[in-house]
A = this chain, B = another copy of it.
Amino acid sequence: MEGVRRRDREGTRQRILDAARGLFAELGYDHVTMRLIAAEAGANIALINRYFGSKRELFAEVLAMQGRFPGVLDGPREELPRRLAEYVAERFRSDWASPVMTALNRSSASPEIHGIIRDRVNSAIMEPLAALLPGEDAQLRAAVATALITGTGTLRQLFTPEELGSPSHDAVVARLTRIFEVCLEV
């Protein structure tokens, strides 16, 4: 029987994973240090590499926590532009965003993990999005929509909503919905 385990392999592993997810999202791959992750997780630094192999592999595992673009791609096809717009608009006004998405955004310049990022953007967003689109150049349209999503994240990290003119949530959603419609239509 396992009671309160002071030595808890799985628990420690999970705490490291959670800490890493939050920090990668906040700071990006380069600016997160092993010691920072260890401190945040309340674990010893050597355990990170024991459980995950390396910083790079830990990052890959963090990204693997999330499957497809969460909750946005699923639902009726005709409301897809609206759902995308809602997602982006929400990121516009609040600080919250999917940690995995944010981590992707802030880490895309690190050559060390270029392949990981690429595969993840492709399998979690671009590919499933393109699969939803009819017509010839579905890949192009999915790519443009993806660019708008990631670009919004980058911009939002640079400016506060006030600096962007404090637009009303409804105005942002309306504008973005029309844009995504033009993005996605044949």
Q: Give the CA-CA distance A140 to B168 in the complex, in Å.
A: 10
Q: Are A167 and B30 in contact (CB under 8 A)?
A: no
Task: Given A118-B158, A154-B150, A171-B137, answer yes or no on A28-B109 (Cβ-Cβ < 8 Å).
Answer: yes
A147-B148, A148-B147, A165-B139 are contacts. A114–B30 as well, Cβ < 8 Å?
A: no
Q: Is the interface of A mostly helix, strand, loop or mixed?
A: helix
* In the bound complex, CA of A66 to CA of B115 (Å): 32
Contacts of A77 in B (CB 8 A): none
Given the complex, which residues of B lie within 8 Å of A12, measured CB to CB? none
Q: How far apart are the CA atoms of A141 and B148 in the complex, in Å? A: 13
Provide the bound-state CA to CA distance between A121 and B157, in Å. 12
Determine the chain B residues whose CB is within 8 A of the CB of A151 once the complex forms. Answer: 146-152, 154
CA distance A168 to B149 in the complex (A): 23
| Chain B residues whose C-beta falls within 8 Å of the C-beta of A137 in the assembled complex | 165, 167, 171, 175
A residues 99-148 with Cβ under 8 Å of B? 105-111, 114, 117-118, 121-122, 137-141, 143-144, 146-148
Pick the residue among B111, B139, B155, B178 that contacts A143 (CB under 8 A): B155
B-side contacts of A108, CB under 8 Å: 154, 157-158
A58 to chain B minimum Cβ distance, whole angstroms, is: 18
Please measure, in the bound complex, the distance between the C-alpha atom of A110 and the C-alpha atom of B158, giving whole angstroms: 11
Question: Closest 10 interchain pairs by CB?
Answer: A151-B151, A139-B165, A147-B151, A140-B167, A28-B109, A106-B109, A147-B152, A147-B155, A150-B151, A118-B158
